[in-house]
Structure 1
Amino acid sequence: MLDIVIEARKAAIAPGMEVKRILPFRMRRMVGPFIFMDHAGPVSIQPQSVAKMDVLPHPHIGLSTVSYLFNGEVTHRDSLGVQQVIRPGEVNWMTAGKGIAHSERFEDPSVLVGGFEMIQTWVALPEKDEEANPTFDNYKPEQLPIYTDTGVWMRLIAGDAYGLNNNVKTHSPLLYLHAVLQPGATFGLPKEHSERAVYVVKGSIEVSGRTYTAGQMLVFTKGVDPTLIAKEASTLMLLGGEPVGDRFIWWNFVSSRKERIEQAKADWTAGRIVLPPNDNHEFVPLPEDKSKAAGSPPPQALS
């Protein structure tokens, strides 16, 4: 049976960039190790407005960010000196560990005129890896296995599912897939992991006689084996895995220890988290902490 249906909410991460936020949700903070999920786009924008979409340098701790594009491109720069143009079908996996800063800039106006769409997730690290040295890896589409069946196409982004696996470096057992279904296609969830969810990017699916549409995430109870039926051409993201334990999340910081979040705030304010060497002239300041009064953290950056 369904554990919960999460409706995406609107969130602004930059003056020109509004996203659909799926995780965290007040009644379901995580699915497996996934603690955050944003769906940006689809959006088309005129060249003169491209700079408004830039996400300035900002910090992370205690997590891995995963960037996956459907359309367009964005340039990543980080504290390690990495500069990587992210393109559709690639996986960009940045592990923040003890601390990293990065930016995402839209530097080719032509690709945004044609549309931009991206999914961003954060994967919480196991406690033993929360203070690891930061790393960044880019994986090309040809490194990611694809499976096809009648009316079904899917790519394994990370982890293992349906007997597929790849070399994307993860820190705990998980699944993450991009699936495209043709009208009438049937699809079952992988059984390898205890926590599983389906996010409808576009189109609609039927589960147990009910229809679910774009912007909804379906989280399923452990042991349930649902059948998904595509009501129309549909794009889905499947994610989940094994829980890593409770986590605190504030702005762009994730940790198993509340005091570590406080330390990260102080580190960013004091400049102890290094800016990208090739993008260090501006940055996102630490937001005002209204969490105690308002009961919720300030808005997170895209990644």
Structure 2
Amino acid sequence: MLDIVIDARSAALSPGFEVARILPYRRRRMVGPFVFLDHAGPVALKPRVSREMDVLPHPHIGLSTITYIFHGKWMHRDSVGYEQVIKPGDVNWMTAGSGVSHSERFEEEFRRTGGDLELLQAWVALPTAVEESEPSFHHFARQHLPHQESAGIWMRMIAGEAFGLTSPVNTHSPLFYVHVELQPGARLQLPDTYSERAAYIARGQVTLQHQRYQKGQLLVFEPGKNPVLTAETPATVMLLGGEPLGKRHIWWNFVSSSKERIEQAKADWAAGRIRLPVHDDEEFIPLPGSPKKDPEPLS
């Protein structure tokens, strides 16, 4: 039933701001097209949040980023020219393609007041045919994302298609990404129409075949099985997966089917050939290994 269980590891997003890193993992690099998953928070931030906790401009190639917030407000700026506040339940979908840079900072009102912050960021690898597509950005407010509720289960379709719901997000390969809230005793069967599937427990506890699993664990399922999760407590579960795309190389913020393309992206960022965000071009994260010591860039 289970292929592997991955426990989240701590990683530094910026000075003083740690996240739980779920993917990639040394024994499991991808689930369908998903190559990366971080869970930030929950954390209660005091007023006047330090700017040192912002994620400075940094580059991507060969992927789409999905930013999804439970609590707080986050500001996105990118080299395509978009500037967008993301609020709880909204989705930011940025496709890097041939190359993009973006920053992720605290929204200014939230920076002043502080408050609860919790968010997830996932990366989805692009099919080889569109790895070098033009970069793009799309924002979807929560009211435009389909949801349903029944028998102690509430769910919102973030991206892809499952459970009879289809997200308006324009994906590049078959996948699903779902936010699910479970009441105690609720039973959730995963969709059986995808080759690779996983469930990340963001809050609470669930059981599978009489074994208990808890917050911070990613359950990756064997193909062809029909797993059913039962909530032991109120639980937040993120379901994700899809069809595999083949091997992908990952270095820093770059994803590609080609090692040579990764090397080119390194050289492009080091030489300043990837444009900085239009409204945020006064600082950036240097390429790892450069003389200046870098914070670990994760998104």
* TM-score between both structures, scaled by the size of structure 1: 0.95
Distance 1:259 1:110, change over 3 A: closer
Output the CA distance in 1 between the equivalents of 2:162 and 2:296.
29
**Which residue does 1:142 correspond to in 2?**
143
**Which residue does 1:43 correspond to in 2?**
43
Cα RMSD (Å) of the superposition? Answer: 1.4
- Report the CA distance between 1:242 and its aligned residue: 0.2
Output the CA distance in 2 between the equivalents of 1:39 and 1:168.
21
- Report the CA distance between 1:227 and its aligned residue: 1.2
CA contact (8 A) 2:72 2:110 kept: no
CA contact (8 A) 2:47 2:112 kept: no
- Report the CA distance between 1:83 and its aligned residue: 0.2
CA contact (8 A) 2:196 2:243 kept: yes
CA contact (8 A) 2:14 2:55 kept: yes
Output the CA distance in 2 between the equivalents of 1:299 and 1:283.
11
Which secondary structure does the structure 2 equivalent of 1:267 belong to?
A: helix
Which secondary structure does the structure 2 equivalent of 1:219 belong to?
A: strand
Output the CA distance in 2 between the equivalents of 1:134 and 1:36.
19
Show the 5 A alignment for 1:1-303.
1-106=1-106, 107-109=108-110, 113-288=114-289, 301-303=297-299
- Report the CA distance between 1:302 and its aligned residue: 3.8
**Number of residue pairs matched?**
295
Distance 1:249 1:287, change over 3 A: same
- Report the CA distance between 1:113 and its aligned residue: 2.6
**Which residue does 1:295 correspond to in 2?**
none
* TM-score between both structures, scaled by the size of structure 2: 0.96
Structure 2: gaps (5+ residues):
none
CA contact (8 A) 2:77 2:84 kept: yes
Which secondary structure does the structure 1 equivalent of 2:50 belong to?
A: helix
Output the CA distance in 2 between the equivalents of 1:181 and 1:133.
39
Output the CA distance in 2 between the equivalents of 1:181 and 1:187.
8
Which secondary structure does the structure 2 equivalent of 1:44 belong to?
A: strand
Output the CA distance in 1 between the equivalents of 2:204 and 2:143.
26
Which secondary structure does the structure 2 equivalent of 1:239 belong to?
A: strand
Instruction: Report the identity percentage.
Output: 59
Counterpart of 1:216, as a letter, is Q
Which secondary structure does the structure 2 equivalent of 1:108 belong to?
A: helix
Moved over 4 A (4+): none
CA contact (8 A) 1:37 1:120 kept: yes
- Report the CA distance between 1:43 and its aligned residue: 1.1
Structure 1: gaps (5+ residues):
290-297
Output the CA distance in 1 between the equivalents of 2:21 and 2:217.
10
